[in-house]
Amino acid sequence: MFLGRRNFKLWFVIAFALSLLVLGALVTFGFTAFIRTIIDHQVALRVGGQSFGWWSRPPVEPIIRIFVYNVTNADEFLNNGTKPILDELGPYVYVQTWEKVNIKENPNGTISYNQKRVYIFNEDLSGGLEDDVVIVPNIPMLSATSQSKHAARFLRLAMASIMDILKIKPFVEVSVGQLLWGYEDPLLKLAKDVVPKEQKLPYEEFGLMYGKNSTSKDTVTVWTGVDDINQYGIIDKYNGRSHQTHWLSEQCNRLNGTDGSIFPPRITKNSTLHVYEKDLCRLLPLSFEKEVTVRGGVKGYRFTPSPDVFASVDKNPNNMCYCPAGPPCAPHGLFNVSLCQYDSPILLSFPHFYMADQTLRTAVEGISPPEKDKHQLFIDVQPDMGTALRARARIQINLAVSQVVDIKQVANFPDIVFPILWFEEGIDSLPDEILDLMKVATNIPPRAKFILTIALFGLGGFLFVVAVICLVRKSHRQSTLHLEGSNYLATASVDQAKKKAKMDNGMSSKSN
């Protein structure tokens, strides 16, 4: 009975050891998927959840730095045909607060909102004041003259007369604050009175950032990721539309990118991230460049635009869909956004014509050669959670000016791509609270998996081996005892038989 109880305990240990080994196998092959499920649940935009709070009111203060190209020889350029000389002023720094308002949950797993942005000028971080006076191309006027290039000649002559009466010149002298946030322009004021209602511009003043220091009227609808984490943060509709209408193909008209702050989790080095920005009028594809480490030791992937994103059609035929009015199309390194900027001939590029044809830069004086570290657009992303860790959106605004001989004000103005300003917008880092949670979510699970795997396989294997050895030894001992007992009985039987034979022999002798 004692031996049976001990055997039962050993079999119990073996069963327990096998359970540990099975559990170790489950940890090896299923732990990562389990952790991903937890992360996906926490990341998805659920009203009242922590990630929803960070998404709706980001706990960061994005900064935008603006550099303005001041024209120092406007008269000589117009009268003598010399190269325009530019003086890069700035940065003019604004600290922002972002908030998503008018949030509405939709039954199909999406959420709609309007973006509110507030810009506050920071004099301490700036290299100048908003009151600094600059001389820049008169964008409303030059846009109007460029658009009239293919109109009837009498219309161009009429436009020249109107500009004479209103004393409108190709260059304006305004403050930096006016250039950015708006000033009263006589052409826009005239258009307000004479242009048909359906063709009027949606603003009465001109400013490159006019109307942005407020709540946007654009309604954005994005997927929450609750039903499908692979759709997390991706735009479903923009003002009720799922596609643009400007370009020549469905692929180029797509809006299904993110706003650049969040992306679907589990990003790999082979992933292509898509960012949609209204002013760019298209999705901007970003590709992996390198691994990075941000403050706090959190590791991420850096994604940047590929060199051919703004390439000419000759170098990248896929960009033909962005040239509905061409050829000719935009020069290499420029992107024509006139179709979504009320036909104003605005061309976007990277600062200092980074990754563009350098003849654009040498057509003017005063712009230094581009530098990757200063002028490259990039986003650093935590790959497991899809959260932007650090970002720099760097874009230059240029005006494509066309010579129109019938309008004397610009008769000497050559065909030129005129740089106006460039900016970089982004964040340097997330708050420590978020970075600490990311470190826990990304660093602890792999370590825990390793420790659990070693512990379960090690303890399970040790117990199994020990229990099996004990069972084998006990089995061997029992066999030995059984054999010894059998030998003893056999010997005793032989002895007894011999004894009996002797007694029988003795009795026989006595009888004789």
Query: Which tens digits make up the pLDDT trace of 422-440?
Result: 999 999 888 888 888 777 7
Instruction: Residue 377: name the closest of 311, 424, 330 by CA.
Output: 424
Average pLDDT over residues 346-370: 95
228/237 Cα distance (integer angstroms):
17
In terms of Cα–Cα distance, which of 400, 189, 430, 106 is closest to 295?
A: 430
Pair of tokens at residue 398: 């240029």
Of 201, 48, 135, whose CA–CA distance to 418 is shortest?
135
pLDDT surpassing 60 at residue 507: no
Residue 363 pLDDT exceeds 60: yes
For residue 196, name the pLDDT band (cuts at 50, 70, 90).
Answer: low
Mean pLDDT of 242-251: 91
Q: Check if the beta carbon of residue 163 is closer than 8 Å to that of residue 170.
A: no
pLDDT for res 36:
72
CB-CB neighbours of 140 under 10 Å: 18
Hey, what are 283's tokens?
A: 């999705």
pLDDT at 10: 67
DSSP assignment of 111-148:
EEEEEEEEEEE-TTT-SS-TT-EEEEE-HHHHHHHHHG
Residue 408 clears pLDDT 50, i.e. is over it: yes
What pLDDT is recorded for position 32? 67
Q: Provide the pLDDT for residue 392.
A: 96
**Cα distance between residue 228 and residue 243, in whole Å:** 21
Mean pLDDT taken over the chain: 85
The mean-pLDDT minimum among 47-56, 221-230, 275-284 falls in 47-56
Query: For residue 260, is it left (φ>0), alpha (ψ between -120 and 50) or beta?
Result: left
Which one is predicted more confidently, 9 or 293? 293
DSSP designation for 84 = P
Strand partners, 15: none
Reply yes or no on whether the pLDDT at 501 is more than 60: no
How much is the pLDDT for 502? 60
8-state DSSP, 447: H
d(Cα 33, Cα 232) in Å, to the nearest integer? 18
Q: What mean pLDDT is predicted for residues 382-395?
A: 94
Determine the pLDDT at residue 7. Answer: 64
Please list, residue by residue across 407-443, b when 16 or more beta carbons sit within 10 angstroms of its beta carbon and e when fewer do.
bebbeebeebbbbbbbbbbbbeebeeebbebbeebbe
One-character DSSP codes across 322-372: G-TT-SS-PPTT-EE-GGGTTT--EEEE-GGGTTS-THHHHTSBS-PPP-H
Please compute the mean of the pLDDT values over residues 346-366 and round it to a whole number.
95
Q: Is the pLDDT of residue 352 over 70?
A: yes
HSE of 363, CA atoms in CB hemisphere, 13 A: 16
What is the structure's pLDDT at 5? 59
pLDDT above 90 as % of the chain = 53
Kind plus residue range of the DSSP H or E element containing 461: helix 432-511
Q: What is the pLDDT of residue 17?
A: 67
For residues 430 and 186, give the distance between their C-alpha atoms in angstroms, rounded to a whole number: 44
Average pLDDT over residues 95-100: 95
Q: Report yes or no: 281 and 339 within 8 Å, Cβ to Cβ.
A: yes
Amino acid (1-letter code) at residue 199: Q
Residues 473-495 pLDDT 10s:
766 665 655 555 555 444 555 45
pLDDT of residue 330: 92
More confident residue, 25 or 263: 263
pTM of the predicted model, to two decimals? Answer: 0.84
Lowest mean pLDDT among 34-48, 88-102, 173-187, 394-408: 34-48
Average pLDDT over residues 201-214: 85
- Where does the pLDDT of residue 417 fall: very low under 50, low under 70, confident under 90, or very high at 90 and above? very high
Model confidence at 46: pLDDT above 70: yes
pLDDT value of residue 486: 53
Q: Where are the alpha helices (DSSP H) in 167-314?
A: 176-181, 186-194, 250-253
Beta carbons of 181 and 160 less than 8 angstroms apart: no
In the DSSP assignment, the letter for residue 405 is T
Question: Which of 39-48, 114-123, 246-255 is the least confident region?
Answer: 39-48
Interval 357-375 mean pLDDT: 95
The per-residue pLDDT for 394 is: 97
**Structure tokens of 28?**
């090896």
Q: How high is the pLDDT of residue 497?
A: 56
pLDDT at 439: 77
What's the rounded Cα separation, in Å, for the pair 371 and 46? Answer: 42
Better-predicted residue by pLDDT, 114 or 490:
114
**Cα dihedral 463/465/471/472 (nearest 10):** -170
In which band, very low, low, confident or very high, does the pLDDT at 1 lie, cut at 50, 70 and 90? Answer: very low
DSSP 3-state assignment of 397?
strand
